[in-house]
Amino acid sequence: MRALNRREALELISAGLVAAATPSGSAEATQTFPPGAVIRTVLSDIPPERVAGGATLFHEHLSFADDFMTRWVRYAADTRREHALPSATPSATAPSPRPAAAPPAPAPSTPSGRYFMQDADYQVEEMRLARTDGISCIVDGGHADMGRDIGFLRTVSERSGMPIVAGAGFYAQPFYPAALSAMSEQQIFEALMQQVASEPVGCFGEIGSWDYITRDERKVFRAVGWASVASGLPIFTHTGIPGKSALEQLDLLEDVGVNPAKVVIGHLGNLVDPAVEVHRAICRRGAFVGFDRQGGQGDATQVPLVMTLIDAGYADRLLLASDLSNISQTRQAGGPGYGRTLTVFVPKLKAAGASDAVLRQIMHDNPRRFLACVPTQSRPR
């Protein structure tokens, strides 16, 4: 009998036929984790098996400073202008590019009048709805320099029952604290380890290069790599459109000893290349490729990229999420909600030919394998 390829093997696993077909392939039937591996959520360290029943979203946002997105949109417009690119239209309520002197647009609010990323009642309801959609764990990609409030995440997790993993790190050049430029890699490493020691973070992310990677961003990437090796926590990244410096990000992390299996290079749905050269290079090196702005306008472009990677045998290297950042995307505002990767994007992959077994692998198994870690530090209170 000829050897099964990975995709065929996974389909057989799903059908319960693998033991009869390939005795040596039965190890793939159950996902195993290193002894002591946990997913470190904001409330407790949980066994990875506990979130097996649903999808895990590896890159979303539940908590921001109320001016974060206004700044983000302004910096993005500046960057696109510098490169003479047409203005982006990421979402319904994002303001169009404007002169820097113009007053910031008011943050869209919930019925209570608050910014949704600071309204616990609103986010508790969104998390309840996401659980109903089949989501069993969500990673928040913010940290202090983005105005992420870990106490807020704890409240939302406690009241909604949704396990939430918080990130640590520094975001990207336009958002760095002013002091960072003068800090050494060692000092940045120490600051990162302080974050890990003082708050129950479960990963480093999102760690970004805003445009082409800068000198300061290189320092941060190397320091994050060291901190990941020292703490055991995995890393997910932000690349500037279209996937700028993606390979260099992985180079920097690998150079300081990070295991690529604990890295996601993110926003690679923005890198539209039918041959998926960069995506395949990252998969071959053993890291994950993040398609993490799904369930919206980009889907039609990105479905063929994801299918090409699945057909090339890289389903075990794919991670999907939506990077939710705007109230218009939430269920209570009439949008598809935090579950939109699962409820909107995944059906499009299925219609394009992806099997249920492969989709389950991508949505359930890959993110647990990414997040499961053996922290070297005891859990902060």
Give whichever of 25 and 202 is closer to Zn ion, judged by the CB atom: 202
Closest contact distance (angstroms) between CB of 61 and Zn ion is: 6
Choose the stretch contacting Zn ion; rule: CB under 5 A; options: 31-39, 134-142, 298-306, 352-360: 134-142
Spatial separation of the C-alpha atoms in residues 223 and 192, rounded to whole Å: 8
Quick one: DSSP state of residue 341? I
Which residues 178-217 are close enough to bind Zn ion by CB under 5 A?
A: 206
Choose the stretch contacting Zn ion; rule: CB under 5 A; options: 136-144, 162-170, 302-310, 314-322: 136-144
Choose the stretch contacting Zn ion; rule: CB under 5 A; options: 154-162, 239-247, 321-329, 365-373: 321-329
Q: Which residue of 25, 48, 90, 141 would you call a contact of Zn ion, by CB under 5 A?
A: 141
Spatial separation of the C-alpha atoms in residues 169 and 184, rounded to whole Å: 15
Which residues 45-84 are close enough to bind Zn ion by CB under 5 A?
A: none
126 binds Zn ion (CB under 5 A): no
Query: Which parts of the chain are beta strand (E)?
Result: 39-40, 45-46, 55-60, 135-140, 164-168, 203-209, 235-239, 263-265, 288-291, 318-320
Contact in structure between 239 and 270 (CB atoms under 8 Å): yes
Closest contact distance (angstroms) between CB of 133 and Zn ion is: 20
Cis peptide before 242 (omega within 30 of 0): yes
323 binds Zn ion (CB under 5 A): yes
Choose the stretch contacting Zn ion; rule: CB under 5 A; options: 138-146, 164-172, 190-198, 220-228: 138-146
177 exposure class (CB count in 10 Å sphere: 0-12, 13-18, 19+):
exposed
Give whichever of 38 and 150 is closer to Zn ion, judged by the CB atom: 150
Closest contact distance (angstroms) between CB of 141 and Zn ion is: 4
Choose the stretch contacting Zn ion; rule: CB under 5 A; options: 44-52, 130-138, 270-278, 315-323: 315-323
Closest contact distance (angstroms) between CB of 321 and Zn ion is: 9
Size of the site for Zn ion (CB under 5 A): 3
C-alpha angle with apex 280: 1 to 278, nearest 5 degrees?
170
Give whichever of 38 and 213 is closer to Zn ion, judged by the CB atom: 213
Task: Provide CB contacts within 8 A for 321, sequence distance 6+.
Answer: 57, 58, 59, 60, 139, 290, 291, 292, 294, 341
Choose the stretch contacting Zn ion; rule: CB under 5 A; options: 79-87, 137-145, 228-236, 330-338: 137-145
Give whichever of 324 and 333 is closer to Zn ion, judged by the CB atom: 324
Give whichever of 299 and 323 is closer to Zn ion, judged by the CB atom: 323
Give whichever of 315 and 320 is closer to Zn ion, judged by the CB atom: 320
Question: Whose CA is closest to 39, among 49, 24, 29?
Answer: 49
Spatial separation of the C-alpha atoms in residues 181 and 184, rounded to whole Å: 8
Closest contact distance (angstroms) between CB of 14 and Zn ion is: 31
Closest contact distance (angstroms) between CB of 57 and Zn ion is: 11
C-alpha angle with apex 43: 38 to 49, nearest 5 degrees?
35
Residue 336, strand partner residues? none
Choose the stretch contacting Zn ion; rule: CB under 5 A; options: 81-89, 92-100, 133-141, 167-175: 133-141
Of all residues in the chain, what percent are helix, strand and coil, respectively (each to 5)? 50, 10, 40
Which residues 340-369 are close enough to bind Zn ion by CB under 5 A?
A: none
Question: Whose CA is closest to 7, among 311, 275, 327?
Answer: 311
Residue 291, strand partner residues? 320
Instruction: Find where tokens 């000829």 sit.
Output: 2
Give whichever of 173 and 361 is closer to Zn ion, judged by the CB atom: 173
Closest contact distance (angstroms) between CB of 205 and Zn ion is: 8
Contacting positions for Zn ion (CB under 5 A): 141, 206, 323
